[in-house]
Structure 1
Amino acid sequence: MIICGALLPPRKLSTMSVNKLAAVAVLSSFPLSSCSTPDSEHDASVEYLVPEIVSTHPFDETSFTQGLEVDGDELIIGTGQYGTSRIYRSTVDGQESVSQSLDREFFGEGITRFNDVVWQLTWNEGVAFKRNATTLDELDRVSYEGEGWGICSTQDALYTTDGSSTITVRDPETFEATDTINVTLEGTPVESLNELECVDGSIYANIFLDTDIVRINPDSGTITAVIDASNLPNNALPDANNVLNGIAHIPDTDRFYLTGKRWPDLYEVKFVPAG
């Protein structure tokens, strides 16, 4: 029997019953990096990597991190939870410059910068905020169907997740859906795709409630790398919600920033072969 922690039902913890939480606890002990088929049967085209920590920076331990972007010399961070969701700018060492709060009825989700605007998703409200990239002031809001989880952008498209194994391709100006991508690992759909980062023709995705990150070919939907990030210290206060979440590529380098929900640390890493 194959059990894989990534094939989880796409639901946020705050909506789960006790029984569902128990099931998640069992399934989450089987990460993508140790599931699917025996090593001898793995697709040779899939890389298995781990993050190597280059440096560690202080991070706001109150931030329920849902989106993370590098923008020049600053980070843009989007956070969740009803009543405390916001989007803000900060230096890598934690000095905030701009912050915009969401109204209490919105649960903030992923963020991405596209040209001179930032798009910010909401979880259950079906609303995406279009913001001025510098001030983070709201410019517009648009409606969309389904849940909002993660988002990233290329020069000509937005990519969003809803907690399933499907990535939706969207028009970067209107937010209208234009296509879908079905994500698979060795032929098996991978559920619970969450926070995204578009980098050099690939899409990196956190797996909700897992310490694995996957790298996806957006043309085929196939996973080309599984990154086992279980070696990153999770120094957040004990809470089932305080999981790895937040991927930001550092431009013109082979390095990334990784963090989590209410994590007090931001890790600068590079991905190296496992083992």
Structure 2
Amino acid sequence: MMLVFALAMLAEPPVAATPAPPRVERCGYRIVQSYPHDTSSFTQGLFWHDGHLYEATGQYGRSRVARLDLDTGKALAQTKLPSDQFGEGITRWGDQIIGVTWQGGVGNRWSIKDLKPAGTFTYEGEGWGVTMVGDSLVLSDGTPDLRFFDPATMKEQKRVTVRFAGRPIPMLNELETIDGQVWANVWMTDFIVRIDPATGNIASLLDLSTLKADAGASGTDSVLNGIAWDEKGKRLFVTGKNWPKLYQIALADCR
């Protein structure tokens, strides 16, 4: 039911009300380049830093955080999570990587230099995706809310409800911040949404509905998930869970 609801909300905005909901831009994409991706990686988090991709993967007993070589998709360094933790999103905060887990309410910190553990923390609810917006760590948890935290103390600061043409949208998954907007995968769909973190309004909808087929991925769990932005090179990377390819894409046909 949740999936049907999300797809319906993204596909058809409601009849205009007063005041009218903000207009949502719709974009397609074009593939700039493709790279190898480890098909054993159940991708949960992705970001780019200093010439490398960093990836977090899920599944009990198989979750890890890794520094990847873009050209080969192989791990240059990695640290496994405890077997009772289901890894989810990661983000960089200074010289640390901060990651969350699905239902355990436990978060991890690693040194970005060598991926060695640098501490843990706890939080309420589920953990899905994380990103940094300014000085705040932003967490998605499967609900329509983005939760803002102080990354040093993990004290919750506020919540913002994400809306598509006025309607709350749940199942926000992996997150990435690009030019001040939060980009989010919508779980079990082929959509990425661009969110104004101040208001929660979705400004743009990116439709990647043919990318999974191009990747040759199969299986109901092999969904689009993973967004990374190379700010210096202005490159946008996306992939999916257990996909054999990672893509650099560009937006196209925005209207």
TM-score calculated relative to the size of structure 1: 0.85
Partner of 2:167: 188
Please give the alpha-carbon distance, in whole angstroms, between the structure 2 residues aligned to 1:84 and 1:204.
26
Asked whether the equivalents of residues 33 and 48 of structure 1 are also in contact (C-alpha less than 8 Å), the reply is: no
Asked whether the equivalents of residues 31 and 211 of structure 1 are also in contact (C-alpha less than 8 Å), the reply is: no
Partner of 1:67: 45
Query: Is 1:36 the equivalent of 2:13?
Result: yes
Asked whether the equivalents of residues 69 and 77 of structure 1 are also in contact (C-alpha less than 8 Å), the reply is: yes
Give the counterpart of 1:262 among 226, 242, 249. 242
Please give the alpha-carbon distance, in whole angstroms, between the structure 2 residues aligned to 1:156 and 1:92.
28
Secondary structure of the equivalent of 1:259?
strand
Shift of 1:272: 2.1
Partner of 2:113: 134
Q: AA paired with 1:49?
A: C
Partner of 1:58: 36
Q: Which moved more, 1:230-239 or 1:209-218?
A: 230-239
Please give the alpha-carbon distance, in whole angstroms, between the structure 1 residues aligned to 2:9 and 2:34.
25
Secondary structure of the equivalent of 2:220?
coil
Partner of 1:176: 155
Shift of 1:91: 1.2
Q: AA paired with 1:50?
A: G
TM-score calculated relative to the size of structure 2: 0.92
Query: Is 1:102 the equivalent of 2:94?
Result: no
Please give the alpha-carbon distance, in whole angstroms, between the structure 1 residues aligned to 2:205 and 2:166.
14
Residue segments in structure 2 that go unaligned for 5+ positions in a row: none
Distance 1:135 1:31, change over 3 A: farther
Shift of 1:33: 4.8
Please give the alpha-carbon distance, in whole angstroms, between the structure 2 residues aligned to 1:57 and 1:127.
32
Please give the alpha-carbon distance, in whole angstroms, between the structure 1 residues aligned to 2:140 and 2:134.
18
Please give the alpha-carbon distance, in whole angstroms, between the structure 1 residues aligned to 2:236 and 2:150.
26
Q: After superposition, what is the alpha-carbon deviation per residue over 1:82-101, rounded to whole angstroms, capped at 9, x for unaligned?
A: 11001101111213211100
Asked whether the equivalents of residues 236 and 242 of structure 1 are also in contact (C-alpha less than 8 Å), the reply is: no
| Identity value in percent | 35
Please give the alpha-carbon distance, in whole angstroms, between the structure 2 residues aligned to 1:58 and 1:261.
13
Q: After superposition, what is the alpha-carbon deviation per residue over 1:162-203, rounded to whole angstroms, capped at 9, x for unaligned?
A: 001000001021121111011001110011111000111110
Asked whether the equivalents of residues 195 and 205 of structure 1 are also in contact (C-alpha less than 8 Å), the reply is: yes
Shift of 1:231: 2.5
Secondary structure of the equivalent of 1:233?
helix
Shift of 1:155: 3.6
Shift of 1:31: 5.9
Partner of 2:125: 146
Shift of 1:271: 1.3
Asked whether the equivalents of residues 32 and 226 of structure 1 are also in contact (C-alpha less than 8 Å), the reply is: no
Partner of 1:45: 23
Shift of 1:130: 1.0
Asked whether the equivalents of residues 152 and 196 of structure 1 are also in contact (C-alpha less than 8 Å), the reply is: yes
Distance 1:107 1:216, change over 3 A: same
Partner of 1:13: none
The CA RMSD over aligned residues, in Å, is 2.0
Residue segments in structure 1 that go unaligned for 5+ positions in a row: 1-7, 10-23
Partner of 2:63: 85
Secondary structure of the equivalent of 2:200?
coil
Partner of 1:203: 182
Partner of 1:166: 145
Please give the alpha-carbon distance, in whole angstroms, between the structure 1 residues aligned to 2:174 and 2:212.
19
Q: Which moved more, 1:170-179 or 1:103-112?
A: 170-179
More strand by share: 2
